[in-house]
Structure 1
Amino acid sequence: MIKLRLRRMGKKKQPHYRIVAAEARWPRDGRFIEVIGYYNPRTDPYTLEVNVERARWWLEHGAQPTDTVRALLVRAGVLPPRQRGEGQKPEAAAQQPDA
């Protein structure tokens, strides 16, 4: 399965990230298929650059974004925001012990 995920770059204690398409089994900082963006949380404000065309292409062809990349793609305008209740766990009320 192809995932859109972050690849850590930079020096120790000074990370920045590339948004990449990679096979889910490959190491986080190892092989990847394509770089589709860049994210630097250390700048004020943060830096986010995404190749929108390539991100949409990967999503249309079945790539699954990680939660963090999904949030970044929403900020970049590639994906619509999640609707309330979508992808969330069931209520904790069902797991309460009997009295």
Structure 2
Amino acid sequence: MAVAIRLTRQGSKDRPYYKIVVTDSRARRDGRFIEQVGSYDPMKEGINYTIDLAKVDSWISKGAQPSETVASIIDKTRKQG
């Protein structure tokens, strides 16, 4: 099973909100996921994301592949602290 770390869309029309989830790469974008590891709110100013780096590192060590957007969020979080 190929595992991906990617965004799943939540929120209403014109007010997107995303969860950062670990999921089977063949699953639908907003379908079933294995675990939620963070969130991303593009409508919010300043720091608009949260992520649990311990969980992300654990999944990456098991072979999960982050999407481009999630990889950039991970990099930003690592640079912060």
Q: What TM-score results when the alignment is normalised by the length of structure 1?
A: 0.76
* Identical positions, percent: 35
Gaps of 5+ in 1: 79-99
The higher-RCO structure (CA 8 Å, 6+ apart) is 2
Query: Using the alignment, how far apart are the partners of 1:16 and 1:76 within structure 2?
Result: 18
Letter in 2 for 1:12: K
After TM superposition, the runs of 4+ consecutive aligned structure 1 residues lying more than 2 A away are none
Which is strand-richer, 1 or 2?
2
| Structure 1 residues 9-45: Cα deviation after superposition (integer angstroms, max 9, x where no partner) | 0001100100000001000000100000011011111
Cα deviation for residue 46 of structure 1 reads 4.0
SS in 2 for 1:42: coil
Q: Tell me what 1:53 maps to.
A: 54
Equivalent residue runs for 1:19-98 within 5 Å: 19-77=20-78
Gaps of 5+ in 2: none
| Structure 1 residues 56-87: Cα deviation after superposition (integer angstroms, max 9, x where no partner) | 10011100001111111101118xxxxxxxxx
Letter in 1 for 2:56: A
Q: What TM-score results when the alignment is normalised by the length of structure 2?
A: 0.92
